[in-house]
A = this chain, B = another copy of it.
């Protein structure tokens, strides 16, 4: 990781000139506040990404829709060929024929094949043979995506809603804390905190990587307080709350960990802007000692209390 970097705005595009005090380039949920224009559709579009990350309801609706439409199409083909090439159908009206063809199609595309209705002759048989192959491929994609979604690590790290500026040894420090609410383990957790603010009398923003008391832990059983000591090397040295607000300061957090239950590396992002820092408060202790062992009250992650800052 590069050392503190001070660079102009157009480098990474993280930042902007803006008058609002609630500016942020990275949203709380880890998405970026950026709009790309003039990207051709096929360059931008990532079919897999869309299908793996859309809400579950949309995903199931899409599968159901695909199944329904495929059956409509194949039913139409069987109707055009003539349902007299399907045994066991004694429907007379076109709509009844279509319904029979539709359900025969559904029995074919899922390879169910009851056989009450069955194809006769080259045409109907060919369509059925193709449909069953299409069905195998279609459901392979659908079920592959289903399992892919299900087995996708999401890095559900929970961030404290606010950061604090609290005393630390004989100086002060910028701190926030994170919790692993899951029972599964996160290992070799790394954190990277970037800081940016508008340059004085300029539209440009400067970016810094903050030095942390510790940027990697081997285990992350439930909680970690991330600490940036504000010493002389810090870009926050001697800075005042009003200045952070005026210069639209933003703290961007990225965490990386190995998720043991998924056997994969996961990433998590969040951000704090100037208005989400509590000056002169410290986080409340979460841990209780009990007979049976340690007990951590995760619900109190956001609780802070007043404290006197060092000068």
Interface residues of A (CB under 8 A from B): 1-2, 5, 7, 9-14, 16-18, 25-26, 32-40, 43-49, 52-53, 63-64, 67, 71, 87, 99, 103, 106-108, 110-116, 118-120, 122, 125-126, 128-129, 132-133, 135-137, 139-148, 150-153, 156, 158, 181-185, 187-188, 192, 194, 214, 216-225, 252, 254, 256, 258, 260-267, 269, 285-287, 289-290, 292-300
Contacts of A261 in B (CB 8 A): 46, 48-49, 52-53
Complex contacts, A118 vs chain B, CB 8 Å: 114-116
* A144 touching B151 in the complex, CB below 8 Å, given contacts A158-B43, A254-B218, A298-B39: yes
How many copies of this chain sit in the oligomeric assembly?
4
Q: Specify which chain B residues have a CB less than 8 angstroms from the CB of A218 in the assembled complex.
A: 1, 192, 194, 254
10 A-B pairs with least C-beta separation: A38-B299, A140-B143, A144-B147, A115-B115, A116-B118, A49-B261, A114-B115, A106-B129, A103-B125, A43-B181
| Closest Cβ–Cβ distance, residue A50 to chain B (whole Å) | 8
CB atoms of B151 and A48 under 8 A apart: yes
The CA-CA distance from A170 to B24 in the complex, in Å, is 33
Query: Do residues B187 and A299 form an inter-chain contact, with CB atoms below 8 A?
Result: no
- Please name all residues of chain B whose beta carbon is closer than 8 Å to the beta carbon of A145 when the two chains form the complex: 147
Q: What are 27 contact pairs spanning A and B, CB under 8 A? A: A1-B218, A10-B285, A11-B225, A12-B223, A12-B224, A16-B293, A17-B289, A18-B289, A32-B219, A37-B296, A40-B181, A43-B158, A53-B261, A99-B122, A106-B125, A107-B113, A110-B129, A110-B133, A111-B112, A115-B115, A137-B143, A140-B143, A140-B147, A141-B146, A144-B151, A219-B269, A263-B264
What is the distance, in angstroms, from A70's C-beta to the closest C-beta of chain B?
A: 11
In whole angstroms, what is the CA distance A150 to B47 when docked?
9
Minimum C-beta distance from A37 to chain B (A): 5
Q: How far, in Å, is A261 (CB) from chain B's closest CB?
A: 4
In the complex, are the beta carbons of A107 and B136 less than 8 A apart?
no
Contact A187 B267 (CB under 8 A): yes
Chain B residues closer than 8 Å to A119, beta-carbon distance: 103, 114
> Apart from A13-B294, A52-B151, what 12 extra A-B contacts exist at CB < 8 Å?
A10-B286, A35-B290, A37-B297, A38-B300, A39-B299, A47-B150, A107-B129, A114-B118, A114-B119, A140-B142, A141-B146, A143-B144
